[in-house]
Amino acid sequence: MDEVKTAFNTGKSIICENRIIRKGAQFVTIKKSNGWRLEGENFVSLAYLRPFFSARCIVEE
């Protein structure tokens, strides 16, 4: 989780599993410059109703 949070804070893209929309994309790309923020262990955006837990995310290569 620390690797993901550090990467996010330095501007890297993070990929998280999207379990809400089964018919759409199974993953969501999270980036600080796209309005995402980190609240504790969760990535939060006004575009999504629920947060994404950082432990279920990876750093995009």
The whole-number pLDDT of residue 1 equals 85
Total number of domains in the chain: 1
The whole-number pLDDT of residue 12 equals 98
- SS3 label, residue 61: coil
Predicted TM-score (pTM) of this structure: 0.86
Q: Which domain holds residue 46?
A: 2-59
- Tens of pLDDT, residues 15-54: 998 876 666 568 999 999 999 999 999 999 999 888 999 9
Q: Which residue has the higher pLDDT, 12 or 18?
A: 12
Residue-by-residue DSSP string for 11-37: T--EEEE--S-SSS-SEEEE-GGGT-E
The whole-number pLDDT of residue 24 equals 58
- C-alpha span between 60 and 55 (Å, rounded): 14
Whether the Cβ atoms of residue 14 and residue 31 lie closer than 8 Å to each other = yes
The whole-number pLDDT of residue 25 equals 66
